[in-house]
């Protein structure tokens, strides 16, 4: 269940793509998520200095690119301080090969061709990521990062909505954010777009919050997901998509609770749990 419609099958949402298998928030990671039978992928959206929507999780660039080597004097390397042209000079793939964050290279789960292909991967624009999603008849959860301390704050939500509308992808997209005011903005701009309420804290009255935000999906962190709330939300027609769930025992527990979606770094691990 992506956005509240009645489905019984738990959906697999690849967190930042299948980021155990490829550099997160890139097009190669989306390919891996598709190959791993994910029903869709979750990606994060920020904005370049010149107003282009780009796919990136962190506010800063140093963890997932070689920005420190290319622009050593530009610290603290906020993505919002770099133009798209500058961002496209960076390598967003080699860090994954060098750090092997999920030990999948060490375990032999990636080929030499994979490893070679990740060198020099470029940051995707949101348009490129959405066009990939569209061309593969897929689904995407767009998380809009909180840009409230940057000039992008005033335009990032309208630009995301405009792009989704321009591509005609309203039915393939759910927009989520920890900044709940962004969700209000989405609904004001296009009430037909599905939204998801992200939280890493216990919400005492989720039904009231969902009604106030006019949202379709509740996205709690795994540690603040409770069976009673899942049941209550489901009975009232809301989707419950839980993040970030990587262990089989936790996946099984959430499936038993009745969640509608599991957001995971390991879609290749969740698929056989759902399809024994």
pLDDT digits (tens, 9 = 90+) for 52-82: 999 999 999 999 999 999 999 999 999 999 9
The CATH number of the domain covering residues in 11-274: 3.20.20.190
H/E element, 187 = helix 180-189
Q: Is the confidence at residue 6, as pLDDT, over 70?
A: no
Q: Say whether the peptide bond before residue 170 is cis (omega within 30 degrees of 0).
A: no
Confidence check: pLDDT of 1 > 70: no
**Predicted confidence band at 9 (pLDDT cuts at 50, 70, 90)?**
confident
Half-sphere exposure for 199 (CA within 13 Å, toward CB): 16
SS3 assignment, position 173: strand
pLDDT of residue 158: 98
* Residue 209 neighbours by CB distance under 10 Å: 15
* pLDDT, tens digit, 9 for 90 and up, residues 187-219: 999 999 999 999 999 999 999 999 999 999 999
Tokens of 267: 């879609």
Active site residue 57: yes
- Rounded average pLDDT over 221-250: 98
Task: Look at the block and give the residue holding tokens 């039978």.
Answer: 37
Q: How far apart are the first and last CA of the chain?
A: 20
pTM of the model: 0.96
Question: Is the CA virtual torsion 61, 36, 129, 97 positive or negative?
Answer: positive
Neighbours of 86 (CB within 10 A): 17
Does residue 232 have a pLDDT over 90?
yes
Q: Which of 15, 37, 137, 219 is catalytic?
A: 15
Which string of DSSP letters, residue by residue, matches 189-250?
Answer: H-TTSEEEEEESS--S-HHHHHHHHT-SEEEEBGGG--HHHHHHHHHTT-EEEEB---SHHH
Q: What per-residue confidence (pLDDT) applies to 2?
A: 53
pLDDT, one tens digit per residue, over 100-157 is 999 999 999 999 999 999 999 999 999 999 999 999 999 999 999 999 999 999 999 9
Mean pLDDT across the chain: 96
Q: Say what the pLDDT of residue 192 is.
A: 97
Contacts of residue 63, Cβ cutoff 8 Å, sequence gap at least 6: 95
């Amino acid at each position: 269940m992506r956005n509240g419609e009645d489905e019984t099958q738990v959906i697999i949402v690849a967190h930042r793509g299948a980021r155990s298998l490829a550099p997160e928030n890139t097009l190669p990671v989306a390919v891996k998520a598709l190959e791993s039978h994910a029903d869709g992928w979750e990606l994060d959206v920020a904005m370049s200095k010149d107003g282009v929507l780009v796919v990136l999780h962190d506010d800063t660039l140093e963890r997932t690119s070689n920005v420190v080597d290319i622009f050593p004097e530009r610290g603290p390397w906020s993505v919002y301080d770099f133009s798209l042209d500058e961002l496209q000079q960076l390598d967003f793939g080699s860090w994954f090969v060098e750090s092997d964050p999920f030990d999948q290279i060490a375990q032999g789960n990636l080929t030499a061709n994979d490893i070679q292909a990740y060198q020099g991967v470029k940051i995707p624009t949101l348009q490129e990521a959405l066009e990939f999603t569209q061309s593969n008849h897929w689904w995407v959860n767009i998380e809009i990062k909180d840009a409230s301390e940057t000039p992008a704050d005033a335009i990032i939500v309208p630009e995301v909505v405009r792009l989704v509308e321009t591509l005609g992808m309203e039915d393939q997209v759910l927009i989520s954010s920890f900044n709940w005011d962004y969700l209000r903005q989405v609904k004001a701009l296009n009430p037909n777009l599905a939204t998801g309420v992200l939280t890493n804290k216990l919400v005492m009255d989720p039904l009231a919050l969902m009604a106030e935000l006019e949202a379709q999906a509740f996205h709690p962190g795994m540690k603040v997901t409770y069976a009673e709330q899942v049941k209550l939300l489901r009975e009232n027609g809301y989707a419950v998509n839980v993040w970030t769930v990587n262990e089989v025992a936790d996946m099984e527990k959430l499936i038993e609770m009745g969640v509608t979606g599991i957001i995971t770094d390991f879609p290749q691990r969740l698929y056989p749990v759902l399809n024994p």
